[in-house]
């Protein structure tokens, strides 16, 4: 009782201060309050939302009459400046959807339950039904659902509609463009101060209220309630004209010209491909549960007009992102903006500027070398040698020195050391957090198992069973984003682990690194278990993309990885003044060995970006951090060049591409947009740690995958007889050397090795030839998969869900998937005897957990699928059918 009385006194005190402060700038006139109070409570108060300034003004003038609980956006009121007001007035937090995640649904459901419970207890609640600021002087409710769902649960409440006029045009409204709330608050305070508070010109505001009993309003379904609300809010004027009030009673302008109302971002809608429009329409129609009309399926159509609220838009956007692999900077407002997201064209806000320490000059340019024979040793030697030097950065963590990296990794290792299993899974994007986690696992003596979240649940489940995983390190935020589920796995969230690390522990570790580096180095080294000091022990387990029915587990030893890194250093002639942009995820073998660990071992700065498909953000990050090296695939490089403007890529000196054949036209585009860079094509496979060959700086031969790395042997043999072939002959590529892995995990895989001339050779399964002077020319793969954007798309994996649903009959198979690479991109087609649409077929794949690049481009219905004499599908016929559609000129260039 005493606590409740104290809170009430605090509420009155804060209300009084708020009322006095706002009275210095706003002259508010209430209309209809007495009539409203004649009707019984509790009251659900539903105002329009012209500006950020209307909630505090409404609370200041209505709270004494209603004592209502406000529903407040969590993203705004968790700020330290405003959080106390939420607590004092018992605000109900509700999430916004700038970055939609599945957790938002749970949070909004919890907020709705709290609103309903408050009304059922007889308390009044104020809720802004539109959920967003007015953009053009009108109130749009559209498909917002919250008000209708609350009223459906508590129909007995009295609804009080509130219409505020006079705030449209203030610095807290969209009348001059998107307002920046906290900057506007600071500006308003300084203006009040300059006006000596009491002399500030007043803005005249009219607040009109009207109450409606249950029988006086539409039934609580959004299709009827929302148009009624919208009509009432806009009843007096179709669009409110902005009002300007001088900022100072003596100085400054007396008039102001407002810009035209904001409109949707401008895109070249003709550049949106028809398949993208079809995909977006299918996803939207699935949510609407009806087809879009021709008039609706237009770029300017808003989701409000379609009756789709922000929560539904969040789900639609997330689904489109998962299917296409592109990400958004926030929620789209129109179909056209969703097209742009699906096409990867949405305008993103610029990245924050690179922190000044990133550009700290390099004081020495010693020859790059890897110290130590295992991963933990290589990191510790370099980190203690260069403790105070900047080494890694990303947008969330900022810039970290080796010192901070050591502190974080050692703190994590103390937690990882307690895990019972030797193998621990890791599921994180390229980031400082991923670097810290993997270094922490190595310092704890664990073997990371790197999981590919894009391969679908079946492949992930196979990976977990094959390696015996029980725990997987991830981030809660990232897991919500990718929506991965692995039954039987214990998730270890970095957020929770970090929360368990006290500031005292971090300071103690920092002081040890800074004041007693030699002692602390010895201590960390001595704490490593014997297997972490043996170069022949397994260092990591990666996975192939599953060219057969399940991905193969590839264990790489410390010697494999460090040998490949040392060979790359020699071949690429890197130096310490280089810096790199790393965006390939760790589950990608190149992302693990080269853009993940190698920079940390040789003190080459690297900035991370978590989304390798976000070409616009990557270009901006290059322009901001000015790295000199990037490593990517030709497909993603093409995306970068599409988004780049002259000058964006001028810092680049080396662009390394691999994982798929590099088109010759990319060399010309690089010369134009990255004039200081050399484009180096290379070749690698996971089983070879992964780099086998690469073109050298100053020795580039377009159309080849370069020369083998130093210390690596290759040979070309006949695919059937395995006899050695002379130069200029196409055959099977074999690789030998310290980079070659020891063999696959599991007993159900055939040996990939051949033994010739006293050496063990790895059979890559790829076709190549070698020139007289040692350059390798890649000619394609024998296995049935496509490489798209560096990702190996398994055609059998895409086919399996259809084979299960439509098993063969005595008449033959009923479904088969084949694909080819064309000048315009990949073309993956489902051939089937069943009446399936493309939407239905891709829905089947999505139900199986496939996303991103794992989708069909076309469905073709045949009366009968071609078969071999054995009764199996004749894929050569299907492939020829697709290849015949490529123009002859394009086929020659392939």
CATH of the domain at 753: 2.30.38.10
> Do 502 and 587 belong together in one domain?
yes
- Residue 892 pLDDT > 50, yes or no? no
Q: What's residue 894's pLDDT?
A: 31
409 token code pair: 């990794």
Q: What's residue 259's pLDDT?
A: 85
> Do 40 and 158 belong together in one domain?
yes
Q: What's residue 550's pLDDT?
A: 65
Question: What mean pLDDT is predicted for residues 246-272?
Answer: 77
Question: What mean pLDDT is predicted for residues 533-562?
Answer: 86
Question: What mean pLDDT is predicted for residues 563-590?
Answer: 93
Measured between alpha carbons, how far is 199 from 765 in angstroms, rounded to an integer?
Answer: 82
Residue 64, Cβ density class (10 Å: 0-12 exposed, 13-18 middle, ≥19 buried): exposed
Q: Which residue has the higher pLDDT, 452 or 222?
A: 452
Q: Is residue 529 part of a domain?
A: yes
Q: Is residue 241 part of a domain?
A: no
Pick from 92, 99, 96, 137: which is nearest to 116 by CA?
A: 92
> Do 656 and 719 belong together in one domain?
no
Query: Dihedrals φ, ψ of 398, to 5°?
Result: 80, -150
Q: Is residue 202 part of a domain?
A: yes
> Do 731 and 831 belong together in one domain?
no
Can you give the CATH number for the domain in which 60 is found? Answer: 3.40.1130
Whether omega for the bond prior to residue 690 falls within 30 degrees of 0, making it cis, is yes
Q: What's residue 888's pLDDT?
A: 42
Q: What's residue 762's pLDDT?
A: 96
Question: What mean pLDDT is predicted for residues 156-169?
Answer: 96
Domain total of the chain: 5
Measured between alpha carbons, how far is 858 from 571 in angstroms, rounded to an integer?
Answer: 43
Question: What mean pLDDT is predicted for residues 579-595?
Answer: 93
Cα separations (Å) of 1 from 4, 8, 85? 5, 11, 21
- Residue 321 pLDDT > 60, yes or no? yes
Q: What's residue 2's pLDDT?
A: 65
- Residue 67 pLDDT > 50, yes or no? yes
Question: What mean pLDDT is predicted for residues 656-675?
Answer: 89
Query: Which range is least confidently modeled, 637-641, 765-769, 821-825?
Result: 821-825
Neighbours of 325 (CB within 10 A): 21
Q: What's residue 557's pLDDT?
A: 97
The last residue of one of the domains, among 733, 762, 781, is: 781
Measured between alpha carbons, how far is 579 from 619 in angstroms, rounded to an integer?
Answer: 15
Separation of CA 378 from chain center: 31
- Output the DSSP codes for 312-365: HHHHHHHHHHHHH----SS--SBHHHHHHHHHT-PPPPPPPPPPGGGGPPPS--
* pLDDT classification of 181: cutoffs 50, 70, 90: confident
Q: What's residue 267's pLDDT?
A: 61
pLDDT digits (tens, 9 = 90+) for 481-519: 777 888 889 999 999 999 999 999 999 999 999 999 999
Q: What's residue 264's pLDDT?
A: 46
* pLDDT classification of 312: cutoffs 50, 70, 90: confident
Q: Which residue has the higher pLDDT, 549 or 312?
A: 312
Cα separations (Å) of 14 from 66, 87, 496? 16, 12, 36
Separation of CA 449 from chain center: 21
> Do 668 and 716 belong together in one domain?
no
Range of the domain at 678: 356-694
Question: What mean pLDDT is predicted for residues 60-69?
Answer: 95
Pick from 588, 629, 570: which is nearest to 605 by CA?
A: 629
Q: Is residue 809 part of a domain?
A: yes
Question: 865 and 833 in contact (C-beta within 8 Å)?
Answer: yes
| Contacts with 105 (C-beta within 8 Å, 6 or more apart), sequence order | 311, 315
Mean pLDDT taken over the chain? 87
pLDDT above 70 covers a percentage of the chain that reads: 91
Measured between alpha carbons, how far is 113 from 3 in angstroms, rounded to an integer?
Answer: 25
> Do 287 and 424 belong together in one domain?
no
Question: What mean pLDDT is predicted for residues 238-252?
Answer: 91
Can you give the CATH number for the domain in which 844 is found? Answer: 3.30.300.30
801 token code pair: 């869900």
Question: What mean pLDDT is predicted for residues 232-238?
Answer: 92
Can you give the CATH number for the domain in which 308 is found? Answer: 1.10.1200.10
Q: Which residue has the higher pLDDT, 548 or 592?
A: 592
- Residue 721 pLDDT > 60, yes or no? yes
Query: Which range is least confidently modeled, 358-362, 698-702, 783-787?
Result: 783-787
Q: Is residue 628 part of a domain?
A: yes
* pLDDT classification of 791: cutoffs 50, 70, 90: low
pLDDT digits (tens, 9 = 90+) for 416-441: 999 999 999 999 999 999 999 999 99
> Do 714 and 646 belong together in one domain?
no
Q: Is residue 204 part of a domain?
A: yes
> Do 444 and 524 belong together in one domain?
yes
Neighbours of 819 (CB within 10 A): 23
> Do 756 and 839 belong together in one domain?
no
327 token code pair: 């990400």
pTM: 0.69
pLDDT digits (tens, 9 = 90+) for 692-711: 999 999 999 999 999 999 99
Half-sphere exposure of 358 (CA within 13 A, CB side): 24
The last residue of one of the domains, among 300, 316, 343, is: 343
Question: How many residues are present in the chain?
Answer: 894
> Do 690 and 731 belong together in one domain?
no
Task: For 695-804, list the strands marked E by DSSP.
Answer: 707-708, 713-717, 731-736, 753-756, 759-770, 776-781, 785-788, 791-794
318 token code pair: 């997330």
Q: Which helix (H) or strand (E) holds 798?
A: helix 795-805
Question: 288 and 318 in contact (C-beta within 8 Å)?
Answer: no
Q: What's residue 890's pLDDT?
A: 37
For 874, the 3-state DSSP assignment is: coil
Query: What is the separation, in whole angstroms, between the first and last Cα of the chain?
Result: 80
> Do 726 and 665 belong together in one domain?
no
Q: What's residue 16's pLDDT?
A: 93
Cα separations (Å) of 443 from 440, 560, 586, 875? 5, 19, 18, 49
Q: Which residue has the higher pLDDT, 795 or 682?
A: 682
- Output the DSSP codes for 162-226: EEEES-TTSTTSTBTBS--HHHHHHHHHHHHHHTTTTTSPPEEEEEEEEEE-GGGS--S-HHHHH
* pLDDT classification of 792: cutoffs 50, 70, 90: low
Task: For 102-154, list the strands marked E by DSSP.
Answer: 125-126
Phi/psi region, residue 301 (left: phi>0; alpha: psi -120 to 50; beta: rest), is: beta
Question: 628 and 652 in contact (C-beta within 8 Å)?
Answer: yes
* pLDDT classification of 869: cutoffs 50, 70, 90: very low
> Do 134 and 59 belong together in one domain?
yes
- Residue 860 pLDDT > 80, yes or no? yes
- Residue 526 pLDDT > 60, yes or no? yes
Q: Is residue 252 part of a domain?
A: no
Q: What's residue 799's pLDDT?
A: 84
Q: Is residue 255 part of a domain?
A: no
Measured between alpha carbons, how far is 505 from 507 in angstroms, rounded to an integer?
Answer: 5
Query: Which range is least confidently modeled, 226-235, 402-411, 422-431, 808-817?
Result: 808-817
Pick from 104, 3, 43, 496: which is nearest to 93 by CA?
A: 104
pLDDT digits (tens, 9 = 90+) for 130-154: 888 898 899 988 777 889 999 999 9
Measured between alpha carbons, how far is 265 from 286 in angstroms, rounded to an integer?
Answer: 25
Measured between alpha carbons, how far is 556 from 740 in angstroms, rounded to an integer?
Answer: 8
* pLDDT classification of 870: cutoffs 50, 70, 90: very low
The last residue of one of the domains, among 343, 376, 407, is: 343
Query: Which range is least confidently modeled, 116-130, 750-764, 796-810?
Result: 796-810
């Amino acid at each position: 009782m005493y606590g409740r009385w104290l809170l009430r006194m605090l509420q009155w005190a804060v209300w009084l201060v708020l009322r006095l402060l706002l009275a210095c700038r706003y002259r508010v006139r209430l209309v209809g309050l007495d009539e409203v109070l004649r009707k019984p409570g509790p009251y659900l108060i539903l105002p329009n939302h012209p500006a950020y300034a209307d909630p505090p003004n409404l609370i200041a003038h209505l709270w004494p009459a209603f004592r209502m609980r406000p529903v407040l956006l969590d993203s705004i009121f968790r700020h330290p400046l405003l959080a106390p007001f939420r607590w004092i007035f018992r605000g109900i937090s509700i999430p916004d959807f700038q970055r939609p995640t599945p957790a938002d649904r749970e949070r909004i459901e919890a907020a709705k339950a709290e609103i309903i419970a408050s009304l059922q207890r007889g308390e009044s609640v104020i809720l802004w039904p539109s959920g967003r600021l007015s953009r053009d002087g009108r109130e749009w409710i559209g498909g917002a659902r919250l008000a209708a769902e609350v009223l459906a649960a508590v129909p007995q409440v009295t609804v009080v509609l509130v219409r505020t006029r006079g705030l449209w045009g203030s610095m807290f409204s969209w009348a001059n463009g998107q307002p920046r709330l906290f900057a506007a608050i600071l500006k308003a305070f300084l203006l009040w101060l300059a006006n000596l508070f009491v002399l500030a010109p007043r803005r005249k505001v009219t607040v009109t209220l009207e109450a409606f009993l249950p029988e006086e309003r539409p039934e609580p379904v959004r299709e009827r309630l929302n148009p009624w609300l919208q009509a009432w809010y806009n009843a007096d004027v179709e669009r409110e004209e902005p009002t300007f009030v001088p900022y100072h009673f003596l100085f400054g302008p007396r008039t102001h010209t407002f810009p035209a109302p904001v409109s949707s971002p401008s895109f070249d809608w003709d550049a949106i491909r028809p398949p993208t429009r079809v995909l977006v329409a299918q996803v939207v129609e699935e949510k609407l549960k009806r087809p879009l009309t021709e008039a609706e399926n237009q770029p300017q159509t808003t989701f409000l007009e379609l009756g789709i609220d922000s929560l539904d838009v969040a789900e639609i956007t997330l689904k489109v992102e998962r299917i296409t692999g592109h990400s958004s900077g926030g929620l789209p407002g129109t179909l056209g903006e969703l097209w742009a997201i699906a096409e990867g064209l949405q305008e993103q806000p610029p990245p924050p500027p690179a922190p000044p320490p990133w550009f700290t000059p390099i004081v020495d340019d010693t020859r790059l070398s890897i110290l130590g024979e295992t991963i933990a040793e290589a990191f510790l030697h370099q980190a203690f040698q260069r403790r105070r030097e900047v080494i890694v950065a990303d947008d969330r963590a900022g810039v970290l020195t080796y010192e901070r990296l050591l502190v974080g990794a050692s703190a994590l290792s103390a937690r990882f050391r307690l895990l019972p299993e030797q193998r621990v899974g890791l599921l994180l994007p390229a980031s400082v957090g991923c670097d810290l986690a993997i270094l922490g696992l190595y310092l704890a003596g664990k073997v990371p198992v790197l999981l590919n979240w894009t391969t679908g649940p079946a492949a992930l489940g196979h990976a977990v069973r094959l390696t015996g995983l029980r725990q997987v390190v991830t981030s809660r935020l990232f897991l919500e984003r990718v929506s991965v589920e692995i039954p039987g796995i214990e998730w270890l969230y970095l957020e929770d682990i970090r929360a368990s690390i006290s500031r005292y522990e971090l300071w103690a570790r920092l002081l040890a690194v800074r004041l007693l580096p030699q002692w602390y180095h010895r201590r960390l080294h001595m704490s490593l278990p014997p297997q972490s000091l043996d170069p022949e022990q397994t260092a990591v387990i990666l996975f192939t993309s599953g060219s057969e029915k399940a991905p193969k587990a590839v264990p790489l030893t410390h010697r494999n990885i460090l040998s490949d890194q040392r060979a790359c250093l020699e071949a690429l002639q890197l130096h310490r003044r280089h810096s790199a942009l790393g965006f390939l995820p760790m589950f990608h073998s190149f992302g693990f060995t080269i853009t993940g660990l190698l920079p940390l071992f040789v003190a080459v700065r690297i900035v991370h970006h978590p989304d390798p498909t976000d070409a616009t953000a990557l270009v901006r990050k290059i322009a901001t951090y000015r790295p000199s090296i990037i490593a990517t695939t030709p497909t993603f490089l093409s995306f970068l060049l599409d988004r780049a403007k002259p000058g964006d890529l001028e810092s680049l000196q080396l662009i390394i591409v691999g994982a798929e054949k590099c088109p010759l036209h990319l060399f010309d585009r690089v010369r134009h947009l990255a004039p200081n860079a050399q484009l180096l094509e290379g070749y690698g496979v996971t089983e070879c740690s992964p780099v086998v060959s690469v073109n050298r700086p100053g020795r580039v031969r377009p159309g080849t995958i370069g020369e083998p790395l130093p210390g690596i042997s290759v040979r070309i043999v006949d695919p059937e007889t395995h006899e050695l072939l002379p130069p200029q002959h196409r055959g099977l590529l074999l690789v030998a050397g310290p980079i070659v892995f020891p063999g696959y995990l599991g007993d159900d895989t055939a040996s990939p090795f051949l033994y010739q001339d006293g050496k063990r050779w790895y059979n890559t399964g790829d076709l190549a030839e070698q020139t007289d002077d040692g350059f390798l020319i890649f000619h394609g793969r024998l296995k049935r998969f496509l490489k798209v954007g560096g990702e190996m798309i398994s055609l059998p994996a895409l086919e399996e869900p259809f084979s299960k649903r439509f098993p063969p009959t005595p008449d033959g198979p009923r479904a088969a998937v084949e694909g080819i690479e064309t000048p315009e991109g990949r073309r993956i087609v489902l051939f089937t005897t069943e009446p399936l649409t493309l939407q239905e077929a891709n829905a089947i794949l999505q139900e199986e957990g496939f996303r991103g690049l794992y989708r069909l481009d076309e469905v073709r219905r045949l009366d009968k699928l071609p078969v071999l004499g054995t009764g199996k599908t004749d894929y050569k016929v299907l492939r020829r059918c697709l290849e015949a559609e490529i123009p002859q000129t394009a086929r020659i260039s392939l």
